[in-house]
């Protein structure tokens, strides 16, 4: 009996040793040969972000291309139907606050100095990882910043009262959800054979980097028409798109990415994407034909000169 017990112990010890050695070997080999992408792409991506921003040829991209019914499939198709921004290398298309030499299209701001409704979120200005607005439901399982939700509902109701059929298809999206969408896009391209750098760059042209989408802020909404449910430039030609572009400021919203300001926003023309900034600010931007980057730059400049 004792001999049998010793044999069993020896067998067990040998098996355990073999398992440990094998696991260690697999781990070392997998690390050495880089057999596949890690499961959490975002951790790698975040470490490389500064370099990508410094080296990337800044071109327009969709803010998040977030059409709703299938967030992981539809938006890449609709993005491909859109067109790239027009860039003209002349002084007219380079807006500067000359006194401070601020290039508006690439400026980084301290959002803590701005009111909640004017926070600048884009590829150069990120939300904190733990950012979470106070939300209110707006129907359809969607949520919006509670301080602006009523304005959004009133805007849609007013359009419907005028005989139109606007449909909100995407509003608040958490940074965690944005990360999932972004990682899926990176992984999809890695599976297609792209190297990581190219996959990361390609993903950013379709889905905004986590924390850099206005949808993460809770103050942006994508709107289509009941009879036109594509996030393409042609939405701007629909009755709903025209009505929103002309009337959104009455409810505190701006057309965030107009066609003729792509060189400033770094985002393609998105006639479906509206951002809440408040009625006073939205009216001023509408009347003066300013995008948020320009408006914020002016506020900062005025604050600087007043100090």
Q: Which domain holds residue 174?
A: 52-306
302 confidence band (pLDDT: 50, 70, 90)? confident
269 confidence band (pLDDT: 50, 70, 90)? very high
Examine the pLDDT at 307 and tell me if it is beyond 80. no
Examine the pLDDT at 169 and tell me if it is beyond 50. yes
Q: Work out the mean pLDDT of the chain and round it to a whole number.
A: 76
Q: Is the residue at 144 inside a domain?
A: yes
Nearest in space to 82 (alpha carbons), one of 280, 302, 270: 270
Q: Is the residue at 12 inside a domain?
A: no
* Strongest mean pLDDT among 17-26, 75-84, 105-114: 105-114
Encode pLDDT of 205-248 as tens digits: 778 899 999 999 999 999 999 999 999 999 999 999 999 999 99
Encode pLDDT of 242-258 as tens digits: 999 999 999 999 999 99
Q: Is the residue at 29 inside a domain?
A: no
The confidence score (pLDDT) of residue 50 equals: 35
The confidence score (pLDDT) of residue 66 equals: 44
Q: Is the residue at 230 inside a domain?
A: yes
Q: Is the residue at 212 inside a domain?
A: yes
CATH of the domain at 65: 3.30.1380.10
Q: Is the residue at 1 inside a domain?
A: no
Between residues 253 and 263, the one the model is more confident about: 253
CA separation for the pair 203, 69 (Å, rounded): 20
Neighbours of 287 (CB within 10 A): 9
Examine the pLDDT at 20 and tell me if it is beyond 60. no
Q: Is the residue at 128 inside a domain?
A: yes
Examine the pLDDT at 46 and tell me if it is beyond 60. no
The confidence score (pLDDT) of residue 304 equals: 63
Residue 73 is given by DSSP the state: T
Between residues 264 and 201, the one the model is more confident about: 264
Examine the pLDDT at 23 and tell me if it is beyond 80. no
Q: Is the residue at 45 inside a domain?
A: no
The helix or strand, by DSSP H or E, that contains position 276, with its residue range, turns out to be: strand 270-276
Examine the pLDDT at 185 and tell me if it is beyond 50. yes
The helix or strand, by DSSP H or E, that contains position 18, with its residue range, turns out to be: helix 2-33
Neighbours of 248 (CB within 10 A): 23
The confidence score (pLDDT) of residue 35 equals: 28
Between residues 17 and 190, the one the model is more confident about: 190
171 confidence band (pLDDT: 50, 70, 90)? very high
Encode pLDDT of 92-123 as tens digits: 434 444 444 568 999 999 999 899 999 999 99
Q: Which residues contact 70 (CB under 8 A, 6 or more apart)?
A: none
306 confidence band (pLDDT: 50, 70, 90)? low
Instruction: Show which residues are catalytic.
Output: 270
The pTM (predicted TM-score) of the whole model is 0.70
Q: How many domains does the chain fold into? A: 1
């Amino acid at each position: 009996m004792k001999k049998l017990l010793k044999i069993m112990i020896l067998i067990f010890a040998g098996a355990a040793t073999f398992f440990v050695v094998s696991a260690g070997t697999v781990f070392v080999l997998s690390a050495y040969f880089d057999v596949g992408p890690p499961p959490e792409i975002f951790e790698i991506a975040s470490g490389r972000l500064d370099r990508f921003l410094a080296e990337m040829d800044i071109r327009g991209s969709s803010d998040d291309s977030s059409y709703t019914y299938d967030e992981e499939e539809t938006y890449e198709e609709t993005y491909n139907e859109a067109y790239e921004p027009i860039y003209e290398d002349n002084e007219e298309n380079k807006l500067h606050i000359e006194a401070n030499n601020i290039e508006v299209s690439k400026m980084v701001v301290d959002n803590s100095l701005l009111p909640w409704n004017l926070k600048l979120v884009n590829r150069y200005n990120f939300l904190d990882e733990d950012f979470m607005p106070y939300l209110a439901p707006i129907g359809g399982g969607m949520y919006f910043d509670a301080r602006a939700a009523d304005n959004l509902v009133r805007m849609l109701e007013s359009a419907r009262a005028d005989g139109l059929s606007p449909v909100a298809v995407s509003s608040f999206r958490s940074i965690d959800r944005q990360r999932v969408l972004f990682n899926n896009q990176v992984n999809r391209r890695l599976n297609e054979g792209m190297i990581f750098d190219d996959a990361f760059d390609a993903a950013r042209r379709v889905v905004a980097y986590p924390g850099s989408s206005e949808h993460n802020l809770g103050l942006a909404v994508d709107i289509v028409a009941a009879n036109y449910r594509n996030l393409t430039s042609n939405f701007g030609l629909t009755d709903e798109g025209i009505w929103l572009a002309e009337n959104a400021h009455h409810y505190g919203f701006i057309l965030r990415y107009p066609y003729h300001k792509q060189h400033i926003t770094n985002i393609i023309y998105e006639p479906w994407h509206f951002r809440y900034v408040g009625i006073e600010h939205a009216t001023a931007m509408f009347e003066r034909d300013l995008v948020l980057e320009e408006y914020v730059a002016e506020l900062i400049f005025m604050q600087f000169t007043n100090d």
